[in-house]
């Protein structure tokens, strides 16, 4: 499938989705449409087990919502719903933050399950919407608070702070800071390690954790039990037990 505003590549079991709208990868209606279509393609591709989301070009991940496209804010896929789809995606999503991730770009990274960030001097992350007299509207108020706590979230949002990778790692906003020239290698290594895990079980874990966060522990426990019922009779479970008894590395097929 062809795209105008994103690039979708496959490396083994890893899908790499790059926002591709230079110079700042700002998110307009076209980007939202392409991301939505790419997620459809990734979801339906059984070979892709893990997704890396990053920004094309030398400047960064994404500058967020394109204010020049405000006339289309209510057209095309809804940004908040699209980022929530990523947060609830059945395949792990890793944000490789290769530069600035501001506003909606920061919110996109927050929707991902893991965040790796470049240590480049110009790499900054933050929710800067209040500078425009608006507030984060694509899940930022909720996901940032869940990630770093209320006080730090308020401090970042109310003062429109832009954090370096080291500062973001210190408060738990990103999981790891990497040298700029090895960021994608680190993200790929992480993705490939996850891709070797049993896909059905990985998906079941994601679904259970998401249900608990979104709807409370009772719902999370219910979805957990659904996951157990699904995976315990799978071929992957049989392979896992067999490999353990035979003292070898399992080869999971997602079946």
DSSP 98-118: -SEEETHHHHHHHHSSEEEEE
Beta carbons of 253 and 239 less than 8 angstroms apart:
yes
Cα separation, 222 vs 241, in Å, equals: 25
**Helix segments in 73-215, DSSP class H:** 79-87, 104-111, 140-148, 150-158, 165-170, 183-195, 199-215
Exposed e or buried b per residue across 171-187, where buried means at least 16 C-beta atoms within 10 angstroms of its C-beta: eebbbebbebeebbebb
H or E stretch at 221 = helix 217-231
Task: Say which of 107, 186, 246, 255 is annotated catalytic.
Answer: 107
Q: Which of 129, 167, 193, 224 is catalytic?
A: 129
Does the annotation count 192 as an active-site position?
A: no
Q: Has 167 been annotated as catalytic?
A: no
What's the token pair of residue 171? Answer: 């408060």
Residues carrying an active site annotation: 107, 129
């Amino acid at each position: 499938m062809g795209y105008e505003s994103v690039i979708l590549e496959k490396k083994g079991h890893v899908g790499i989705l790059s926002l591709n709208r230079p110079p700042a990868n700002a998110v307009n209606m076209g980007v939202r449409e392409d991301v939505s279509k790419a997620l459809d393609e990734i979801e339906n591709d059984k070979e892709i087990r893990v997704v890396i989301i990053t920004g094309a070009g030398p400047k960064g991940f994404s500058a967020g919502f394109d204010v020049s496209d405000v006339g289309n804010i209510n057209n095309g896929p809804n940004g908040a719903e699209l980022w929530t789809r990523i947060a609830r995606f059945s395949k792990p999503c890793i944000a490789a933050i290769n530069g600035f991730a501001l506003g909606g770009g920061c919110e996109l990274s927050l929707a991902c399950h893991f965040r790796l960030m470049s240590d480049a001097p110009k790499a900054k992350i933050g929710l800067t919407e209040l500078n425009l007299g608006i507030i984060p509207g694509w899940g930022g108020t909720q996901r940032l608070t869940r990630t770093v706590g209320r006080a730090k979230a308020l401090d970042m949002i109310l003062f429109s702070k832009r954090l370096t990778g080291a500062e973001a790692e210190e408060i738990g906003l990103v999981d790891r800071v990497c040298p700029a020239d090895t960021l994608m290698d680190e993200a790929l290594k992480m993705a490939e390690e996850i891709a070797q895990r049993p896909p059905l079980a990985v998906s079941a874990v994601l679904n259970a954790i998401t249900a608990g966060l979104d709807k409370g522990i009772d719902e999370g426990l219910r979805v957990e039990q659904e996951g157990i019922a699904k995976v315990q009779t799978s071929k992957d479970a049989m392979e896992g037990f067999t490999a353990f008894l035979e003292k070898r590395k399992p080869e999971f097929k997602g079946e």
